[in-house]
């Protein structure tokens, strides 16, 4: 009873989704915690991330696989990461 092939992606899309799940999901989860650190106590955020970092990443992985289009989910994850990193980018490069 392996999964029904009808619902699975083409090889190209699969590569996009797997990479978006692993790398894109990681970037979003990491940048989310970095964003929190800009306005919350850093120690508290790091300690919370012991748990939240990996749970969030795993959920984002699943979302990437559920996405209809690999390109779109990659674009979404990159955009969200950039948005979350905006305060840091501003501090490091613009200011």
Partner 1 sequence: MNNRNYNIYFNTHTISGIIISAILYVIFFAGSFAFFKSEITSWQQNTSAAEISKKDINFNTIVDSLNKEYNLYGRDIYFYMYPRGGAKIGVSVSMSKDSSNKKRGGYFLYNSKTKVQSNYKESYDLGEFLYRLHFLAQVNGIARLGFPIGYYIAGGVAFAFLFALITGLLLHWNKIISNFYLFRPWEKLKTVWTDLHTALGVISFPFLFIFAVTGTYFLVSFPLMSKPTIAMQFDGKKEAFDKTMGYDDKNVPMAGKAIGKEIDINHFVSETFEKWDLTQLSYMQISNYGDQSMQVSMDVVLPRSEKFVGTGKIVYEAATGKVLEVKSPFEKAGYNGVVKDLVYTLHFGNYGGYATKVLYFLLGICGCVVIISGVLIWLVARNKKNIPGRKRKFNDWLANIYLSICLSMFPVTAASFIAVKIHPGGGTAFIYPFFFWSWLALSVLFIIRRNNYKTNRDSMLMGAIIGFFIPVANGVVSGNWIWTTYKKGFYDILLIDVFWLFVSMGAFICWYLIVKKYQKTNNTKIENSNKIEQEKELKKFRIS
Residue 80 has φ and ψ, to the nearest 5°, of -60, -45
**Residue 50 or residue 94: which is nearer to partner 1 going by CB?**
50
Kindly state whether residue 95 participates in binding partner 1, applying the rule CB under 8 A: no
By three-state DSSP, how is residue 92 classified? helix
Site string for partner 1, 8-47 (x = CB under 8 A): x-----------------x---x--xx--x----xxx-xx
Return d(Cα 89, Cα 50) in angstroms, integer. 24
Least separation in angstroms between CB 79 and partner 1: 19
Q: Where are the alpha helices (DSSP H) in the chain?
A: 11-19, 25-39, 42-66, 70-89
**Interface residues for partner 1 in 59-78 (CB under 8 A)?**
59, 61-62, 65-66
Distance of CA 62 to the CA centre of its chain: 11
Positions touching partner 1 (CB under 8 A) are: 1-4, 6-8, 26, 30, 33-34, 37, 42-44, 46-51, 53-55, 57-59, 61-62, 65-66, 88
């Amino acid at each position: 009873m392996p999964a029904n092939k009808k619902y699975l992606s083409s090889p190209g899309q699969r590569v996009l989704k797997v990479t978006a799940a692993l790398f894109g999901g990681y970037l979003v989860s990491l940048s989310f915690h970095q964003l929190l650190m800009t306005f919350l106590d850093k120690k508290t955020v790091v300690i919370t991330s012991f748990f939240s970092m990996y749970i969030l990443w795993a959920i984002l992985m699943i979302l990437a696989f559920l996405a209809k289009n690999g390109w779109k989910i990659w674009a979404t994850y990159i955009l969200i990461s950039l948005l979350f990193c905006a305060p840091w980018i501003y501090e490091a490069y613009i200011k």
